[in-house]
Amino acid sequence: MNDIHFKQNYFVSKVLPNGDIAVYSPRGSAELFLLSGFALRVFNAIKENSLGSLTEDENLKAVLGLFAREGLIGLEECPPTTGTSGQVQRHWQKLSFWVHTTERCNLRCKYCYTTKGTATLTEEVSRTFVAALKQDCLLKGVMEIDLKFAGGEPLLAMPSVVFLMKHARAELEPLGVRITLSIITNGTLLNEENVDSLKRSKFTVMVSLDGILGYNASRVYPNGNPSFDHVMKGLSLLDRAGVRPIILSVISNTNLAGFKELVDFVVARNYTLGISFSRECIGMPKTLAMSFEEVESVLLPQLEWLANATLDKYPSISFNGIKFSGKRSRICSACTRYFGLTPKGGISSCQMTIDTPLVDTISPEEGICSLATLYIARNIPEKCLQCHWRFACSNGCDVLAKETGTVNEHPFCSIYELLMPFLMTIEARKLQELRKR
């Protein structure tokens, strides 16, 4: 038994504060898993070349089988994934839509990539959109529709939100289709009336907040005044109504230093936190872009703190597009099962391309699924194919790669490589939290 050894450079393991070990193996399932109890003893015994001491345990064979299937031991090297983008397998069970409810917005966030105007979703556009969805449900077998209302500021167009919601439910739910609803708001226009409406209609509420006080400085009114105090009032209304929002934060060089303070705030209020990086915002001013040096010196120590922090309840935090949940070929399902709906009735590949839709008008007879295309073909570099994290980042955003003229290595690969070990540990801590429930 002592001749069993781990395959070198096949997997990543991290010791968690309580002694459990998190393992991520791209050669196996590429799904993050935790080791504790007897499995942890076996793992440590293999490392210490002392597995012989456990040979009498009847569970040893099962644990070794798991390790082999995950590529940790005794498994020939798995072939790398294909070097080019291939045909996307489309499963139409669920479709998701970014509904760009209106171009109007009462803020002027410094990194916003959407056009400001007056166009707002009309009842006619909503009827045509739902008719196309109905065709997809009947002909393609779609059984779940996820509508994410955004903008612009969707609370400026609540009648449009309510109409599309009610019409979709009236037309699709009798077919057995499940409809889920969410809304992304800047939080400044939340009031008792719309909070009550969102709660009764079972919306997931997402509120944009980049940091506490001055760390929210990129989210301002047209006259330059800060929005933080008004967002706090909106969050308090949600709290009183029993609605626990998801906080969406864009990390840039203006709020890097405030990350820990933001996490403390989220933990105190029992919120969920979704993080994206400013370098992913097409059209973002260069003055907001994070450098490798800034991430290394400012953000990295705070991620290390979060990865190892002793907290009564570990927060639910996700980093945009980063997942340790299997062998993904793409970072998202844009233009396959996820689309954007423009205020004028066009369909785009995602919210990042809302100003350049695939079509300007929807055909109710053809549905939306007919617009699904192959995503941008990219030659994946050998470096990526051999990287431990290739399935976690899935080579990044295709749209960003196209916009930045980088169709090979992802434009901020070096930053991802720096952050991944800590993001993996944070994800493992979340799994531990789920075990407690």
Domain match, 216 and 342 both:
yes
3 lies in a domain?
no
Which residue type, as a one-letter code, is found at position 48? E
398 lies in a domain?
no
288 lies in a domain?
yes
Count of residues making up the chain: 437
pTM score, whole prediction = 0.85
244 lies in a domain?
yes
User: In what side-by-side order are the strands of the sheet with 33-35?
Assistant: 12-15, 21-24, 33-35
Which residue segment(s) compose the domain that 140 sits in?
A: 94-374+411-431
Instruction: Please state, rounded to an integer, the average pLDDT across all residues of the chain.
Output: 86
Span 39-56, average pLDDT: 91
Domain match, 110 and 57 both:
no
Q: Where among 78, 104, 131 does a domain terminate?
A: 78
Q: How confident is the model at residue 81 (pLDDT cuts 50, 70, 90)?
A: very low
347 lies in a domain?
yes
Domain match, 219 and 331 both:
yes
Give the position of tokens 């340790």: 324
Domain match, 45 and 184 both:
no
Question: DSSP 3-state assignment of 257?
Answer: helix
pLDDT surpasses 50 at 89: no
Domain match, 54 and 121 both:
no
Dihedral sign, CA of 70, 72, 75, 79? positive
Domain match, 240 and 311 both:
yes
246 lies in a domain?
yes
Q: What is the pLDDT of residues 258-313, one digit of tens each?
A: 999 999 999 999 999 999 877 544 445 555 667 778 888 988 999 999 999 888 88
Cβ count within 10 A of residue 226: 14
Domain match, 73 and 105 both:
no
Q: How confident is the model at residue 86 (pLDDT cuts 50, 70, 90)?
A: very low
Tokens at residue 322, please? 């980063």
Q: What is the pLDDT of residues 91-118, one digit of tens each?
A: 568 899 999 999 999 999 988 878 789 9
Q: How many helices (H) and strands (E) does the chain have?
A: 13, 12
Question: DSSP 3-state assignment of 148?
Answer: strand
User: Structural domain tally of the chain?
Assistant: 2
Tokens at residue 24, please? 């991520």
The rounded distance, in Å, linking the Cα atoms of 32 and 258 is 28
Dihedral sign, CA of 197, 201, 207, 213? positive
387 lies in a domain?
no
Q: How confident is the model at residue 84 (pLDDT cuts 50, 70, 90)?
A: very low
Q: What is the pLDDT of residue 68?
A: 92
Nearest CA to 347 out of 98, 115, 91, 93 is that of 98
Domain match, 58 and 98 both:
no
What is the CATH classification number for the domain harbouring 359?
Answer: 3.20.20.70
Domain match, 69 and 102 both:
no
176 lies in a domain?
yes
Q: What is the pLDDT of residues 315-370, one digit of tens each?
A: 888 887 788 888 876 667 777 788 999 999 999 988 878 888 889 999 999 999 88
Cβ count within 10 A of residue 74: 13
List Cα–Cα distances, 352 to 335, 398, 403, in angstroms. 12, 11, 10
Nearest CA to 437 out of 311, 317, 325, 313 is that of 313
Q: Where among 78, 106, 124 does a domain terminate?
A: 78
Domain match, 197 and 113 both:
yes
The H or E element containing residue 116 is none
Domain match, 73 and 210 both:
no
The rounded distance, in Å, linking the Cα atoms of 397 and 385 is 16
Domain match, 99 and 72 both:
no
Highest mean pLDDT among 91-105, 218-232, 388-402: 218-232
How far does CA 108 lie from the centroid of its chain? 24
Q: Any alpha helices (H) in 290-381, and if so which ranges?
A: 292-294, 300-308
Cβ count within 10 A of residue 102: 24
Q: CA angle, 250 as apex, 319 and 161 as ends, to 5°?
A: 95
Dihedral sign, CA of 242, 161, 217, 310? positive
